Amino acid sequence: MTLGTPTEVPAEQVHAKSIIVIHPGSLNLRIGRASDLNPLTTLHAIARRRLPGGIQYRDSFLPERVDPNLIQELEEARLAVSHTLQSCLQSDGRRRYATPPQQIAAFNRRSQPELVNNSGGEWIKPEGDVVIGNDILRLDPKQDFNIHFPYKRGDLNVHSGSGGSLTAVMADLEAIWSYILETNFQISKKDLKFHKAVLIVPDVYNRTYLRELMYLVISKIGFGHCFLVQDHVAATFGSGLSYACVIDVGDQKTSVSCVEDGICHQNTRVRLDYGGGDITQIFFWLLQKCAFPYKECRDKNKLDTMLLRKLKEDFCHVNLDICGSQEKSFVLKQPDMPVYHFTIQVGDECIIAPLSLFSPELFAITGTKLIHTQKISTGDPEDPHDEIYLRDIRKKGMKESLDTANADLLNDTYLDNQQNNPNEDDIVVDAMDPVVPTSIREFVTNPGQILGLDQAVLQSIDRCPNEEIKRKMYGCILVVGGGMKFSGIGTWLQNRISLQIPYLYRAEQLDIVTNPRDMDPSMVAWKGACIMSCLETAHELWINAEEWEKFGVRILRERAPFTW
């Protein structure tokens, strides 16, 4: 074998260049070649020009807020967190102190914005009828465009409103992804068949959606090969961990599950309807309570939502050594408006908002929250040999062999009654196939309450199949996604979990991994999928276009790197 000259690109790199890894989110889309260092990150949305007389529809940029004055528990929850913080100690052992919100409000009321410039620029002038990604932010709201986010709360945004059918959502995804492949990666439609796609899917998935996504990637967009990978599995690959209890806090969802050697244990999966966007709404409410000086700020205005998001990212933290009021400033720059510089004071509001992950009553601000767990498959009419069929024939086969065995025993007169002859329903097929549970224990909360992050972790680990795995998971918790990027929150999580770990597992050292390999936690799953796609063993996972067309969902079930 001759060594290549330095100008020659190694074969695996050529291979990695032809693989596109797609990680779709409720706010952001991350997409890039498996050979890239970082993915392209853009707003995962599409604006379509409304037809004359068409229905106006715009998905909100932040989870919609319920009137906070109508929710009494909200104020109680805020006070409870505030009191907890006051009873905490700083790292040098001194007690924490807080500036009363009234005092902060008095400063903010007096604070006058300074004019910096007479114009914050101009809106873009769209040439076509479709605008994709970040450009939507520069689209004049007076223009007759509808705005759709194809993902919401961590899964497809299928709804009963305009553009909410599964077909419409798929058409939006096709338009967004195809456009980015062509404009940002210069891959023309006809060349896509020479490319492979890895699509990151939620841990708690809907089988119909996965089938539609596969159809989209191969049959509609036109990739030559594809495989699907669950986000938490990808996250463990990205962080180089062989097992972990994974927490993924995105913009609109928080998911938890236990992953071991590339398998995400089915019973441990849970997805909760809150994330960074809800924390932004809580922070906005807290700012308003202390006389936020940008009084015209509205959560219906997309640029205001982006400003609020940025204020949360810049100001919020869980550093108990920061006490009292802090002076902060920000610039308000929006097209067709003068540019202003604001100075404000903030106090424990900056800590209370992120801590809502542990005091989830605060999330009532964005309405009722659901708990999603993995549903047992109810079969697929397109797949006559689905897992239910396989389970049934296994049952039948087992019954037949038991019958034969019993007949033999009866002939030998060892058995004189039917007591030991199990009827069909008594046969526990899942004992043979531990990955297909007959029932899923629901995650528990008190009636009307929302499951907090620490509770979700503890309950997820408690659902692991055996003590050994539980012990491992109590020792390693991996945090990914952008929604929990607050300094100090890992320590808070560690304290909360350590206090509640069952006595039996306490001896274990608990590692909370928040920045695996010094990587941005919101990119870990994307990176992990890149690594997976380049492994030699990945060749078993790829499904090519001919196979997909011939076998459909059956090949997906057989080859998916997770229990279907």
Which residues make up the interface to ligand ATP (CB under 6 A)?
25-28, 151, 154, 250-253, 275-277, 309, 313, 481-483, 485-486, 522
Helices (H), 111-250: 166-183, 207-215, 231-239
Q: Maximum distance among all alpha carbons in the chain?
A: 100
User: What is the secondary structure of 38-74 as a DSSP string?
Assistant: S-EEEE--EEEEPPTTPPP-B--SSPPPP-GGG-HHH
CB of 435 to ligand ATP, least distance (A): 26
Angle, helix 166-183 to helix 207-215, in steps of 10 degrees: 40
* DSSP 3-state of 188: coil
Residue 306 or 427: the one with the smaller Cβ distance to ligand ATP is: 306
Q: CA-to-CA distance for 337 and 140, rounded, in angstroms?
A: 12
Question: Under the phi-then-psi rule, with left for phi > 0, alpha for psi from -120 to 50, and beta for the rest, what region is 540?
Answer: alpha
Percent of the chain that is helix, strand, coil (3-state, to 5): 40, 15, 40
Residue 247 or 258: the one with the smaller Cβ distance to ligand ATP is: 247
Note the Cα 311 to chain centre separation in Å. Answer: 22
Give Cα separations from 275 to 123, 239, 295, 309, 496 (angstroms): 30, 21, 25, 12, 19
CB of 154 to ligand ATP, least distance (A): 4
CB of 316 to ligand ATP, least distance (A): 6
Residue 222 or 483: the one with the smaller Cβ distance to ligand ATP is: 483
Q: CA-to-CA distance for 358 and 457, rounded, in angstroms?
A: 11
Listed residue (390, 174, 358) closest to 279, CA to CA: 358
CB of 469 to ligand ATP, least distance (A): 25
CB of 511 to ligand ATP, least distance (A): 21
Residue 68 or 481: the one with the smaller Cβ distance to ligand ATP is: 481
CB of 348 to ligand ATP, least distance (A): 17
Torsion of CA 371, 374, 375, 380, to 10 degrees: 140
**Please, which contacts does 536-539 make with residues 24 or more away whose CB atoms are closer than 8 Å?**
538/227
CB of 141 to ligand ATP, least distance (A): 21
CB of 61 to ligand ATP, least distance (A): 11
Q: CA-to-CA distance for 411 and 433, rounded, in angstroms?
A: 31
Question: CB–CB of 285/68 below 8 Å?
Answer: yes
Residue 81 or 553: the one with the smaller Cβ distance to ligand ATP is: 81
Residues 6+ positions from 66 with CB-CB distance below 8 Å: 364, 365, 366, 367
Residue 212 or 231: the one with the smaller Cβ distance to ligand ATP is: 231
Listed residue (122, 40, 117) closest to 523, CA to CA: 40
Residue 263 or 306: the one with the smaller Cβ distance to ligand ATP is: 306
CB of 248 to ligand ATP, least distance (A): 6
CB of 334 to ligand ATP, least distance (A): 19
Residue 252 or 267: the one with the smaller Cβ distance to ligand ATP is: 252
What is the H or E stretch that residue 443 is in?
none
Look up residue 227 and give its amino acid: F
Given the structure tokens 């549903």, which residue do they identify? 375
Residue sitting closest to ligand ATP (CB): 250
Residue 26 or 359: the one with the smaller Cβ distance to ligand ATP is: 26
CB of 28 to ligand ATP, least distance (A): 4
Question: CB–CB of 245/477 below 8 Å?
Answer: yes
Residue 205 or 548: the one with the smaller Cβ distance to ligand ATP is: 205
Question: CB–CB of 89/185 below 8 Å?
Answer: no
Residue 203 or 387: the one with the smaller Cβ distance to ligand ATP is: 203
Residue 45 or 74: the one with the smaller Cβ distance to ligand ATP is: 45
CB of 41 to ligand ATP, least distance (A): 7
Q: CA-to-CA distance for 308 and 297, rounded, in angstroms?
A: 9
Total residues belonging to the chain: 564
CB of 231 to ligand ATP, least distance (A): 8
Tokens at 51, concatenated:
């037809």
CB atoms within 10 A of CB 91: 8
Given the structure tokens 């629901």, which residue do they identify? 442
Residue 281 or 359: the one with the smaller Cβ distance to ligand ATP is: 281
Angle, helix 524-534 to helix 231-239, in steps of 10 degrees: 80
